[in-house]
Structure 1
Amino acid sequence: MNVQNLRDNYPKLISYMENNGYSKTYVGRFKQEIQRILELADSKDWFCYTDVYLDYTKTSQSPDYLRNKRNIIGAIEQFDVYGRYPDRRRRHELFKRGAYHLLLPEFKFVIDYYCESEKKRGKKATTIYTESHNASTFFLSLQQKGIDSLVKITEEAVLSVFMSPNETLLKSCSYKKNIAAVLKASILYHPEACHRILAFLPALRETRKNIQYLTLEEVQKVKESLTNGENSLTFRDKAIGILALYTGLRGCDIAGMILDSIDWDRDLIYIRQQKTDSPLELPLTAVVGNAIFNYLSSERPHTESRYLFVSQNKPYSRLESRSIGNVAARIMRAAGIRQSKGDRKGFHIFRHHFATALLGNGVPQPVISRTLGHTSPESLEPYLSADFPHLKECSLSIDYFPVLKEVFSYE
């Protein structure tokens, strides 16, 4: 690694920072890092500034510490290689975010092989991203332990990624499944190593957290806020809220709706689901149709955009999924519900209510699955825990158990 340019010109960088109000502490960190680079460049096997940073990953796993090192070393690289000075407006990171860009070539090849093969098989892009990201962090953890190839991965090293020394679980069952998916897809590339690493993955029991749901009182307050003309909700917010509450559509699917998604003549809603890329057809009820009509006729701006729900300010672009989440938060606030820390506020809780309401009214599960757009019947299982009318049918009378009278006596 040639550092002669840095050696000759780094005083200009320090002088620039001192004259532009950077703190003495921050400038001191730059001085310290530059001196380290100049002193060790000849003795270290560094090829570029990324290698300078990777040296730190061998001695520390603190996210904050490593982030600080990335920013400083990245800024030094920008000055040395491109002649750019810090501008306070952006961080000069060395490489893209994510573990993949830190991996050694062999581990990168496994990720690339998986992505390419699963893409050809038609696996959804978001699934490929999640599984490859988890596998990248897995390989990076092993790499930081000094393992630089598949054949050197040991059972002890694999277990250390999932469990702490005192056997506390560090990773979830879904994390393990995502890593396994990558390894299974890469068996053709390196069968012996992949089969061996798969055998090393721990046997984790899948657990489910208790899912928050809307109470009957909360549902009533939401309905009132969506029909009340005296609150701050716009026609657009109300139409989106009513769609979510009465159809169970995902927020991303509502955001992706176009004007042609509504068939007014046949009273139908037609979309292609963002999550599964499968078509979904739903009846357009009067309450939903009226809410959308009010928005279209009274509030939607004149724009060439074909998306149903657009922003209220120019250039009137389509609403993104995060904007749909903000609409949900406004509806909850207008209804005066779920304002405590940790309360579930997104539209998925409306989808959960829709599913459990259908279950409670005796609608067959296959019909509910089709209505929600599920591709697997198992996707309905999380909603069964809130099907209270049918759960009560499974309860046993305490008359079958001997209980002392004092248990139910109150003084």
Structure 2
Amino acid sequence: MEVAMLERFFVKPQTIDRIMDCWLGLQIDEYVTALCDRGYAPRSIYRRVPVLTKFAVFTAARNVDQIEQTEALIEPFIDDWLRIRRADRSAEACRRDRNFVGGVVRHFFSQIVSKSDNTSRRTAWPIPFVTQVPGFLDYLREERGLRASSIHHYRHYLRGFERYLRDVGCEVTTLSLPVVTGFVTAQAQHFGPRSMIGLASTLRVFLRYAHREGLLQRDISKLVEVPQHYRLADIPRSISWDSVQKMLDQVDLRTVVGRRDYAMLLLMITYGLRAREVAALTLDDIDWKRDRLHVRERKADHSTAYPLAPVIGEAIIDYLKNGRPDVQGRQIFWRYLAPRSPLTQAAVSAMTSKYLHRAGIPVARPGSHTLRHACVQRLVDNGFPLKTIGDYVGHRSASSTMIYAKVQVDGLREVALGDGEDLQ
């Protein structure tokens, strides 16, 4: 029997025989081959194979010999796995075990049974009001020109609105202001101020479109009150430059992940890049001959060219030579662990939050925007004009930069104390 792939990871013949003798042995060997093809580390394979072997024993004890029938036994298998190992284990450890064991078995099914590259096995959320108000998402995309991320927020709010209308037995064609107000009041118990603004704005656009399409006899969109939130009422969640250095000190440059993360952190700190902009950078965006960094696909389809700072160029080169996986894609930053894929916006922000927590830096909602705020604040403190700063970090409006003038504590203190002159 050909078991060349298993022999690459397990030395003892008895171990290989035990795996192959179980009724899922051939499928497990096929799964190991698929993992190798996708660049999974040996340590990951060592952890996964015993789980699948025990899953085969568990299903065989219940007289199941068809692989399509075993998917219904995943949850009972997880419960049995935890029951055996639960002694003296914390709730957090049990949660990690449940996620790991369930993830391994479901990934096995996705690769071997369904032959799908989609490992999440998540059911896509239904499109809200797809039958009652058809064409609304197309309107957002084509007429209003919204990005996919913005449309995602619309769908999130409208799914809740659709459930609420279903619960109260109301159709879009019979909507009235009291029904809409009841929904907004109910959501206010769970949402914060900014989320309530997004909810009210979404409802306004949706109701206006429904009236335009003749689904609503009366345009009640203007009657939906948007909560007041003053633009300059907040203080940016910036950190001091000493805190920035403390965060950078947490990065281990001896590791592949550390080299990658260090380059991304420097990009956000130096240029104030958003997480989405860092994730979208490609090898073509760096002009090594002219020492230029091009940031494309910014808000409002803007692009910016920066001088490539030597420290950032060295960090990127170090990552490209000693950290970036051998992949065909042009994106600069990639996942270290398999499956190989470019980093997402969420991954960049989560990485930033990780180092801020490691450094013990207290900040509300730590993430990539914390470093963006720190970059802008440093420029403000050094006396650069707000218009210049706004252009540098890609602000669409000057008012987005004005808020940083509020936290010039030293300057405001001088104004408050004056220079000894009496007020006239």
Check whether TM > 0.5.
yes
Find the partner of 2:396 among 375, 386, 390. 375
Find the partner of 2:170 among 147, 167, 182. 147
Instruction: Give the corresponding residue for 2:39.
Output: none
Tell me, yes or no, if structure 1 residue 257 matches structure 2 residue 285.
no
Output the CA distance in 1 between the equivalents of 2:75 and 2:216.
Answer: 54
Tell me, yes or no, if structure 1 residue 357 matches structure 2 residue 378.
yes
8 A Cα contact 1:309 1:319, kept in partner? yes
Find the partner of 1:318 among 342, 345, 351. 342
Output the CA distance in 2 between the equivalents of 1:198 and 1:161.
Answer: 14
1:300-339 matched pairs, under 5 angstroms: 300-313=324-337, 316-332=340-356, 336-338=359-361
Output the CA distance in 2 between the equivalents of 1:91 and 1:249.
Answer: 29
Query: How far 1:192 sits from its partner (Å)?
Result: 5.7
8 A Cα contact 1:255 1:321, kept in partner? yes
8 A Cα contact 1:132 1:182, kept in partner? no
Output the CA distance in 2 between the equivalents of 1:319 and 1:302.
Answer: 15
Greater mean deviation of Cα atoms: 199-208 or 153-162: 199-208
Output the CA distance in 2 between the equivalents of 1:265 and 1:313.
Answer: 32
Query: How far 1:244 sits from its partner (Å)?
Result: 1.3
The percentage of aligned residue pairs carrying the same residue is 21
Unaligned 5+ segments in structure 2 are: 1-68, 77-118
Instruction: Give the corresponding residue for 1:181.
Output: 205
Output the CA distance in 2 between the equivalents of 1:91 and 1:299.
Answer: 27
Instruction: Give the corresponding residue for 1:388.
Output: 409
Output the CA distance in 1 between the equivalents of 2:321 and 2:308.
Answer: 17
Length, aligned pairs only = 306
Instruction: Give the corresponding residue for 1:157.
Output: 179
Instruction: Give the corresponding residue for 1:298.
Output: 322
Output the CA distance in 2 between the equivalents of 1:267 and 1:344.
Answer: 34
8 A Cα contact 1:225 1:231, kept in partner? no
The 1:194–1:250 alpha-carbon spacing in structure 2 relative to 1, beyond 3 Å, is farther
1:59-107 Cα deviation digits (max 9, x unpaired) = xxxxxxxxxxxxxxxxxxxxxxxxxxxxxxx9999x7435x45x4832x
Output the CA distance in 1 between the equivalents of 2:312 and 2:405.
Answer: 26
8 A Cα contact 2:390 2:398, kept in partner? yes
Tell me, yes or no, if structure 1 residue 269 matches structure 2 residue 297.
no
8 A Cα contact 1:310 1:318, kept in partner? yes
1:343-380 Cα deviation digits (max 9, x unpaired) = 53312100010111112222122222222222233333
Find the partner of 1:244 among 268, 286, 297. 268
Query: How far 1:189 sits from its partner (Å)?
Result: 0.7
Output the CA distance in 1 between the equivalents of 2:291 and 2:120.
Answer: 51
The one-letter amino acid of 1:189's match is E
Instruction: Give the corresponding residue for 2:242.
Output: 217
The 1:194–1:395 alpha-carbon spacing in structure 2 relative to 1, beyond 3 Å, is farther
1:9-408 matched pairs, under 5 angstroms: 96-97=124-125, 100-101=127-128, 103=129, 105-106=131-132, 109=133, 112-121=134-143, 122-150=145-173, 152-163=174-185, 172-190=196-214, 193=217, 195=219, 197-206=220-229, 210-225=235-250, 234-273=258-297, 275-313=299-337, 316-332=340-356, 336-338=359-361, 343-395=364-416
The 1:203–1:346 alpha-carbon spacing in structure 2 relative to 1, beyond 3 Å, is closer
The 1:244–1:310 alpha-carbon spacing in structure 2 relative to 1, beyond 3 Å, is same
Output the CA distance in 1 between the equivalents of 2:405 and 2:313.
Answer: 29
The 1:371–1:333 alpha-carbon spacing in structure 2 relative to 1, beyond 3 Å, is same
1:106-155 Cα deviation digits (max 9, x unpaired) = 2xx1xx333222322223232233234323422432332121233x2222
The one-letter amino acid of 2:344's match is E
Instruction: Give the structure, 1 or 2, with the largest relative contact order (CA under 8 Å, sep 6 or more).
Output: 2
The 1:180–1:217 alpha-carbon spacing in structure 2 relative to 1, beyond 3 Å, is same
Aligned-partner SS, 2:293: strand
Query: How far 1:315 sits from its partner (Å)?
Result: 5.8
Unaligned 5+ segments in structure 1 are: 1-15, 24-89, 402-411
The one-letter amino acid of 2:225's match is P
Query: How far 1:223 sits from its partner (Å)?
Result: 4.3
Cα root mean square deviation, aligned: 3.9
Query: How far 1:257 sits from its partner (Å)?
Result: 0.9
Query: How far 1:266 sits from its partner (Å)?
Result: 1.3
Query: How far 1:271 sits from its partner (Å)?
Result: 2.3
8 A Cα contact 2:253 2:259, kept in partner? no
The one-letter amino acid of 1:388's match is V
Query: How far 1:279 sits from its partner (Å)?
Result: 1.9
Query: How far 1:22 sits from its partner (Å)?
Result: 7.9
Output the CA distance in 2 between the equivalents of 1:115 and 1:262.
Answer: 36
